[in-house]
Amino acid sequence: MNSVPYYVGRFAPSPSGPLHYGSLVAAVASWLDARAAGGRWLLRMEDLDRPRCEPGAADTILRQLEAYGLAWDGAVLVQSQRDDAYAEALATLQAIGALYPCACTRSQLALAPRNHEGEIIYPGTCRNGLSAGATARAWRVRVPDVNARFHDRIHGELQQNLAYEVGDFIVRRADGLFAYQLAVVVDDAFQRISHVVRGADLLWNTPRQIYLQSLLGLPTPSYAHVPLVINAAGQKLSKQTLAPALPETGRSAILAQALAALGHPPPAELTGAEPAELLAWTAAHWKIENVPARSAFATPLP
């Protein structure tokens, strides 16, 4: 165990459905990184996007984590109960003049250029005020035209120019909900997270989050983005790509496969060992530098 002085990690699933193999890989990586450092591992239910949440999914996720031996510390933080904290952060951003109202609809932005993640780069239509008769729908944060550098423990030194690659981004959505970028920053600080370990689909969200942290005077945790699991068509496993829920049986083999995808294949003598034993062995041998940066193919689950 290479203890670091202060380590608090977290897993932050969205309860839009049960965990699938791709989300297991991310959960296992953040659990191992925390436990290998002698740290705490917290859980946060990201049920911010109410319309996308599935009834019962949060409980299912907790049961799935337990079945894989992924024990968490303390109470689960639930985003749907945190509106006051997000409203306060929004008010702070407003008070420092970082925000402006935006009247653009999705269809008005449909033809705007997109970045390498396929996201619309906001062209700044409402940046200098709403046009006459337009109604404010969402709130955006103004981003600077600078190359922001950041470090990822797996991907190394990276940089992104928010103005060119993202544009002013939404912190309060047209439907009144707080945006993920705002909530994640507020909650990582509230839970005093020191190390974020999550899927590489969120890698290019990191500069937005670091920028919000700087505006709100919050600390920046260290970041590591673990390989995404993709299906045979090269798509990320997700609810949208119809990734199946983790099966109720064969956990030991599934976990061994997840550990191999993270560059830590368990030794042959642990074949068939209980999840808790596999995790304990891997925590003792965990080296983040062995985690590959590239995506892993999902082989059919046993």
Per CB under 6 A, contacts with ligand GLU among 150-189 are 184
What is the C-alpha separation between 263 and 211, in angstroms, rounded?
A: 31
The closest of 80, 275, 281 to 187, measured between CA atoms, is 80
**CA distance to 24, 74, 244, 250, 251, per residue, from 302 (Å):** 15, 33, 13, 6, 9
Query: Which residue among 143, 185, 202, 237 contacts ligand GLU (CB under 6 A)?
Result: 202
Helix/strand/coil for 120:
strand
Q: Compose the 46-85 pattern: x for residues touching ligand GLU by CB under 6 A, - for all others.
A: x---------------------------------------
Stretch of residues binding ligand GLU (CB under 6 A), selected from 12-20, 106-114, 213-221, 229-237: 12-20
Task: Tokens 């030194």: give the residue.
Answer: 157
The amino acid that residue 272 corresponds to is G
Please state the closest distance from residue 12 (CB atom) to ligand GLU, in A.
4
Closer CB to ligand GLU, 33 or 46, in the complex: 46
**CA distance to 54, 105, 150, 163, per residue, from 203 (Å):** 26, 26, 10, 17
Stretch of residues binding ligand GLU (CB under 6 A), selected from 7-15, 162-170, 213-221, 269-277: 7-15
The 8-class DSSP code of residue 301 comes to P
Closer CB to ligand GLU, 14 or 64, in the complex: 14
Residue 12 interacts with ligand GLU (CB under 6 A): yes or no = yes
Given the rule CB under 6 A, which residues bind ligand GLU? 12-14, 46, 184, 198, 202
